Structure 1
Amino acid sequence: MSLELTPRSTPLVSLEGVTRSVVLPDGAVLGILDGVDLLIHGGDHLSVVGRSGSGKSTLLNILGMLDVPTTGRMEFDGVPVESMSGNARAVKRGSSVGFIFQQFNLLAERTALENVMTPLLYARGRSFWQRERIAAQMLDRVGLGGRLQDKPQKLSGGEQQRVAIARALVRGPQLILADEPTGALDIATGQAVMELLDEVVAESGAALVTITHDPNVAALADRHYLLDSGHLRAGAEVAA
């Protein structure tokens, strides 16, 4: 599949011919991604669907610079990822990528405010020194302004996911990666969470990539992809 050609500005993320493979203990090579091409611009909302084992998590890890391609080319904000050191990737990831996970991954012994403040501990300047106020404002933005001091066990599943969203957005990331963001929620709560996420993303101009098994969640995206046996195809049909 060739790269999408558009007259838009320079993409935030570009993948060209990306593969990812690992060597198994017996020496065999397991191919996970095969020739993936993808362009992501600011403001895009993409969904990627696929069966378990199709490579969705690996693709998400590469987009988030947690992993690097085996072959092919990836650029983030115009910079080739392969030219970055591990530390440079970590710094860029911390400032520019927000992750939202199915299981929330909140710190059980920390309050909602403390959970959302966590990414700001690695920030600099105003974001670091005013981290408590910034985190409180973000929690208020997702409707939890009155639950700042509550720990996760006192929050419903939907409220915990809202804390996770606030944590992902608190540093103003350019790219938000949502891995099965509604998988642990009931249908109504999941829909409310996705509407909130779309609203906040639209206001910020960030790009959103949703990895999901749920066709209803996938249908909310503007562009749809199917990942099948490591091959990414655009325009995948989703059922609303």
Structure 2
Amino acid sequence: MVALRGVTRTVRLPDDQELHILRGVDLTVNSGDHTAVVGRSGCGKSTLLNLLGLLDVPTGGELTFLGTPVQHLRDSARARLRGEAVGFVFQQFNLLPGRSALDNVMTPLLYAGGKQFWRRREIAMDILDRVGLAHRARTMPTMLSGGEQQRVAIARALVRRPRLILADEPTGALDVDTGQTVMALLDTVATESGAALITITHDVNVAALARACYRLETGVLSAAAIPTGANA
């Protein structure tokens, strides 16, 4: 599904020096995989997430998504592919505060075409039901618990049936028990839909739920043992 071969990402600083954020990253993720990438703050996790989510392109190496080298895509084509095939789950939920849970989940479908657009309310209600929140569809985010808000965010990420789900520190704003419940739900729903799930995290309890684990240090990605988890 997604493959990185010798991928680098370099930015030029104001003093004209180059900052090497990613250094020759190799990674392959197939449909149905659940992969965790762990690392400390500043190691390049956000940059890697932006590349995997087609928000940016590598400086060097090759990144292919569904067999297409993304460097050869125009920004508009990359954005279209991202909207159709990638779902994002963020640490801070990023829900629209003035909209109900249902409206938040429907938002990605406003950019869909055909039946998905016209059936957006039905589709959104179905995915809310799958995450156990159909009864909270009309509720505003401020009236939802942290775990409920994250489940709405998961429903929004899944509503267009993405091929790849990227979870960026998805439990960072939750207590341990709620976080594990949310991750188990995310893994279950991703498995049922056949989507690949990549979790970017520093939490060993989250990484322990993956089936493959990598560590990112100073821009270098290497295979790592799956943690047993602090609460195992």
TM class by shorter chain equals over 0.9
Number of the residue aligned with 1:3: none
Equivalent residue in structure 2 for 1:132, among 118, 121, 131:
121
Number of the residue aligned with 2:5: 16
Shift of 1:231: 0.2
Change (3 A) 1:176 1:115: same
Please say if 1:31 is aligned against 2:15: no
Please say if 1:41 is aligned against 2:30: yes
Alpha-carbon distance between aligned partners in 1 of 2:2 and 2:145, rounded to the nearest angstrom:
34
Change (3 A) 1:95 1:155: same
Letter in 1 for 2:188: E
Please say if 1:53 is aligned against 2:42: yes
Alpha-carbon distance between aligned partners in 2 of 1:226 and 1:91, rounded to the nearest angstrom:
30
Equivalent residue in structure 1 for 2:63, among 74, 96, 102:
74
Render the CA deviation track for 1:158-208: whole Å, top value 9, x for unaligned.
000000000000000000000000000011110110110111011001000
Letter in 2 for 1:154: M
Alpha-carbon distance between aligned partners in 1 of 2:191 and 2:173, rounded to the nearest angstrom:
24
Number of the residue aligned with 2:163: 174
**TM-score normalised according to structure 1 size:** 0.94
Task: Check conservation: 1:226, 1:236, Cα contact below 8 A.
Answer: no
Number of the residue aligned with 1:229: 218
Letter in 2 for 1:126: K
Q: Percent identity?
A: 65
Task: Check conservation: 1:44, 1:208, Cα contact below 8 A.
Answer: yes
Render the CA deviation track for 1:8-38: whole Å, top value 9, x for unaligned.
xxxx001000000101111110010000001
Counting matched residue pairs gives 229
Structure 1 stretches of 4+ moved >2 Å: 235-239
Shift of 1:237: 5.1
Render the CA deviation track for 1:25-70: whole Å, top value 9, x for unaligned.
1111001000000101000000000010000000000000001000
Taking the TM superposition and a 5 Å limit, the aligned residue runs for 1:79-118 are 79-118=68-107
Task: Check conservation: 1:100, 1:165, Cα contact below 8 A.
Answer: yes
- Unpaired runs of 5+ residues, structure 2, are none
Shift of 1:238: 2.2
Partner of 1:66, secondary structure, is coil
Shift of 1:83: 0.9
Partner of 2:95, secondary structure, is coil
- Unpaired runs of 5+ residues, structure 1, are 1-11
Root-mean-square deviation (Å): 0.7
